Amino acid sequence: MQRVKAVICYDGTHFSGWQVQPGKRTVQQEMERALTRIHKGEHTPVVSSGRTDSSVHALGQVIHFDTTLAVPEDRWPKALNQLLAPDVQVMETSFVDSSFHARFDAVEKTYRYRVHLTKERDIFRRHYVYFYPYPVRVEDMKQAAPYLTGTHDFSSFCSSRTDVTDMVRTVHEITVEEDGDELHFTFRGSGFLYNMVRIMAGTLLEVGKGLRRPEDMPAVVEAKNRESAGNTAPGHALYLVEVRYE
Which residues of the chain form contacts with a copy of itself (CB under 8 A)?
9-11, 57, 86-89, 91, 120-121, 123-124, 126, 128
Nearest approach, Cβ of 88 to a copy of itself (angstroms)? 7
Total number of residues shown for the chain: 246
Q: List the beta strands (DSSP E) in the chain.
A: 2-10, 47-48, 57-67, 88-96, 106-117, 130-132, 150-153, 168-179, 182-189, 238-245
Query: According to the annotation, is 111 in a ligand binding site?
Result: yes
**Whether the Cβ atoms of residue 118 and residue 133 lie closer than 8 Å to each other:** yes
Between 7 and 204, whose beta carbon lies closer to a copy of itself?
7
Nearest approach, Cβ of 81 to a copy of itself (angstroms)? 8
Nearest approach, Cβ of 10 to a copy of itself (angstroms)? 7
Between 58 and 217, whose beta carbon lies closer to a copy of itself?
58
Nearest approach, Cβ of 63 to a copy of itself (angstroms)? 16
Cβ atoms within 10 Å, residue 35: 26
Nearest to 43 by CA among 34, 51, 52: 34
Active site residue 53: yes
Spacing of C-alpha 236 from chain mean position: 11
Share of the chain residues as helix, strand and coil, in percent rounded to the nearest 5: 30, 30, 40
Between 10 and 187, whose beta carbon lies closer to a copy of itself?
10
Cβ atoms within 10 Å, residue 110: 18
Between 57 and 188, whose beta carbon lies closer to a copy of itself?
57
Q: Which of 11, 53, 87, 181 is catalytic?
A: 53
Which active-site residues does the annotation give?
Answer: 53
Question: Which amino acids are annotated as binding site for substrate, given as ranges?
Answer: 111
